[in-house]
Amino acid sequence: MRINGKKIIRYILGVCCLAFLIGSGFFLASRSGHLKNESTVSKSISRQTRKAHSQKISLVGLGDSLTFGQQDPTNRGGYVYLIKQKLQKNYDVKVTTHNYGKTGDRTDQIQARLENDPAMQKQVSEADVITMTFGGNDLMQVLQNNFQLLFNNKLSSIMPQREKQYQQKVESLMQTVRHYNPAVPIFVISVYNPFYVYFPTVTALQKYTDQWVELTKKMVTAQPRVYFVNVNQRLSQGQYLGKNQTELKKQSKMNLENLSSQEIEQTLNDHHEKNVYLSSNDHFHPDLKGYRYMTDQLYKVMMAHRTTWLNSETTKR
């Protein structure tokens, strides 16, 4: 039998080419799958690495009932809890909070607690961020002790001296905090007038609240790495902020000094004069809506100064 050499060679070459193509296809498919697996594993490792290297932030809240979270219906600690959740939701961070708010504390009482509580001192010294609320009980003390002067429009005769005393207390408190932690950013949240919506014609209440807020702002922002969070207008005026308040004042049952305690309570419970940012239980402290507003304002100021507490390599979620 005659053998055609050229045909055999072409046949062998054809088989080899086919085998090569099939083999190449299998290799590429396998390689592709292998690369996909590598990619999946790589992403998984990356996520685990990010989680393991998330920035850890210790946030310490110092202050009065607003830091404590009085009237927070969730009983989780008001804005201190909420700011933790907001930061962890938006950034690759692990936030630990320590809440040292105490209902009823004046500025000097907050300082005394810090000076006499070693555990509190330790947490403040190790904090990456400090938030503070103070001044509200100081102002309430002045108003309560001089109620008659307030409604006779003579409170101006004593306010300069009371403001000077308050200023000294704030300076002393801030010095004490800085003694334990000289460098970290401090965010101070303002007071507000909880009675405005209920008694809008008592303009002296808002006048002296505004002065107290401005005095606090002036004192704290004069210090390095201390930032002011102003919640006064919204929490004072509630849903009436930016609206015509003539009708609100017409509806008011003032004159307050002529009302009995029962009539005052009825006014506070009047749905038409209710401040939706404050608790209906005591008409004084924020409700959940109010604490969320405080948290949003705090977050904005923290973001404006994030280089003081957030690592540059920390990523957004």
- pLDDT < 70 positions in the chain: 1-52, 244, 246-247, 250-273
For residue range 172-193, list pLDDT tens digits in order.
999 999 999 999 999 999 999 9
Location of structure tokens 């704030």: 170
pLDDT tens for each residue of 241-270: 887 676 677 666 555 555 555 665 666 666
Please identify which residue in the block is written with the tokens 């809890």.
81
Nearest to 55 by CA among 317, 316, 311: 311
pTM score, whole prediction: 0.81
| β-strand partners of 226 | 186
Take residue 35 and report the two structure tokens written for it: 């690369």
Architecture of domain 55-308: 3-Layer(aba) Sandwich (3.40)
Q: What is the CA radius of gyration of the chain?
A: 32
